[in-house]
């Protein structure tokens, strides 16, 4: 796998990350070891977990597998903010108390004295932004957290948070986590352009569309779709399969490769070492331009009205774009100083 710099941080990470929600939940420790070993073999070094994954079992397994010098070979990140106990209202949210206690638990389970990235797991109305930033700054100063990021939050709030941190000399955000796949392109509207503008790294969770790009969804499950959505997913699945056949690779590699080509780091939730091999192909054999374009057309996402307006009006509002226009063109499309 290629190594890339993560956003504005000094971290160097692999272009595919390992999501470990499956660890301790749907696969046992033996399978976890096989997955992690294979991920390391193919050059992966970015691991993502959370204090609540499998009720903490994910972190515990990672702590048992990342012992000694092996810990330093990985960029290890965890998330906090989701409720850890139904009996304790303060075990959820972005308060200083919850950040401290969640981080204490994570470090203990991971058997390490620091995490490379601490993520706020999700935004909610009224989230105490200043308290979160001050608490994160304190943990960075203590050396228990090296970088911070935000997952599952609106672009306006992330931008405000990042700017506030920069203005006050607090720890700035290093990256964001978003749901992003061929079938879930909403992040392209605001989140991805924002990340580019602020130089934030992007981790894309569920790059296989929660499995819907690979198989029929299980109705009645969390991935159940409406009839209209199912028709769209069927069309996408067929395109992914056709492109995979044309490219001589796997559908999973095609879907993952599309995300990589969009500039995001896909987080894969492998259950077997073979899953790692299937997706690693996406990092060694790039999608041809015609295949990328075919996937883009199949997964077309109508840009919001503002984007359309700015694109269509660029020749009238961008001085560089209008530099070749005649004075008559300028006068016809906009007011002059004489008016």
DSSP 259-312: HHHTT-EEEE--SSHHHHHHHHHHHHSPPPHHHHHHHHHHT--PPPHHHHHHHH
* CA 193/CA 207 separation, integer angstroms: 18
Q: In this structure, how many other beta carbons lie within 10 angstroms of the beta carbon of residue 326?
A: 8
* CA 326/CA 75 separation, integer angstroms: 54
**What's the farthest any 2 CA atoms get from each other in the chain?**
77
- Which pLDDT value is given to residue 169? 92
- Which pLDDT value is given to residue 224? 53
Q: Which residue numbers in the chain have pLDDT < 50?
A: 218-222, 324-339
| Global pTM value | 0.86
pLDDT tens by residue, 209-241: 988 888 755 444 445 555 566 778 888 999 999
* CA 191/CA 97 separation, integer angstroms: 29
Collapsing DSSP states into helix, strand and coil, what is residue 116? strand
Cβ–Cβ < 8 Å for 14, 41 = no
Please choose, from the candidates 171, 175, 170, the residue with its C-alpha nearest in 3D space to the C-alpha of residue 158: 175
* CA 172/CA 133 separation, integer angstroms: 8
- DSSP H helices in the chain: 29-41, 57-65, 96-110, 129-142, 155-168, 191-198, 227-247, 251-261, 273-284, 289-298, 305-312, 314-317, 327-333
- Which pLDDT value is given to residue 290? 93
pLDDT tens by residue, 19-56: 999 999 999 999 999 999 999 999 999 999 999 999 99
- Return phi, psi of residue 283, to 5°: -90, -15
- Which pLDDT value is given to residue 305? 67
In this structure, are strands 12-14 and 3-5 parallel, antiparallel, or unpaired?
A: antiparallel
- Which pLDDT value is given to residue 234? 87
Handedness of CA 309, 315, 317, 320 (dihedral sign): positive
């Amino acid at each position: 796998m290629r190594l890339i710099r993560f956003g504005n941080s000094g971290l160097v990470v692999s272009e595919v990350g390992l999501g470990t929600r499956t660890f301790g939940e749907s696969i046992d420790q033996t399978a976890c070891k096989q997955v992690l070993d294979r991920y390391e073999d193919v050059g992966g070094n970015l691991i993502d977990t959370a204090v609540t994954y499998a009720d903490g079992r994910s972190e515990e397994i990672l702590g048992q597998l990342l012992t000694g010098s092996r810990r330093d070979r990985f960029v290890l990140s965890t998330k906090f903010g989701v409720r850890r106990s139904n009996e304790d209202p303060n075990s959820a949210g972005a308060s200083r108390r919850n950040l401290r206690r969640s981080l204490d638990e994570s470090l203990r389970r991971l058997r390490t004295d620091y995490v490379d990235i601490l993520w706020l797991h999700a935004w909610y109305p009224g989230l105490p932004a200043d308290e979160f930033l001050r608490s994160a700054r304190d943990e960075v100063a203590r050396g228990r957290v090296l970088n911070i990021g935000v997952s599952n939050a609106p672009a306006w709030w992330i931008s405000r948070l990042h700017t506030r941190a920069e203005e006050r000399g607090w720890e700035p955000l290093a990256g964001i986590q978003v749901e992003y796949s061929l079938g879930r392109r909403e992040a392209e509207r605001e989140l991805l352009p924002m990340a580019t503008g602020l130089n934030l790294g992007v981790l894309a969770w569920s790059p296989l569309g929660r499995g819907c790009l690979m198989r029929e969804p299980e109705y009645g499950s969390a991935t159940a779709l409406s009839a209209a959505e199912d028709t769209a997913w069927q069309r996408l699945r067929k395109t992914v399969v056709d492109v995979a056949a044309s490219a001589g690779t796997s559908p999973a590699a095609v879907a993952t490769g599309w995300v990589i080509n969009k500039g995001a780091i896909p987080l894969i939730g492998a259950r077997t070492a073979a899953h790692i091999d299937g997706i690693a192909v996406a990092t060694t054999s790039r999608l041809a331009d015609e295949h990328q374009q075919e996937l883009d057309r199949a997964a077309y996402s109508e840009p919001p009205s503002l984007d359309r307006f700015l694109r269509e009006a660029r020749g009238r509002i961008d001085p560089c774009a209008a530099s070749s226009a005649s004075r008559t063109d300028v006068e016809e499309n906009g007011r002059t100083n004489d008016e």
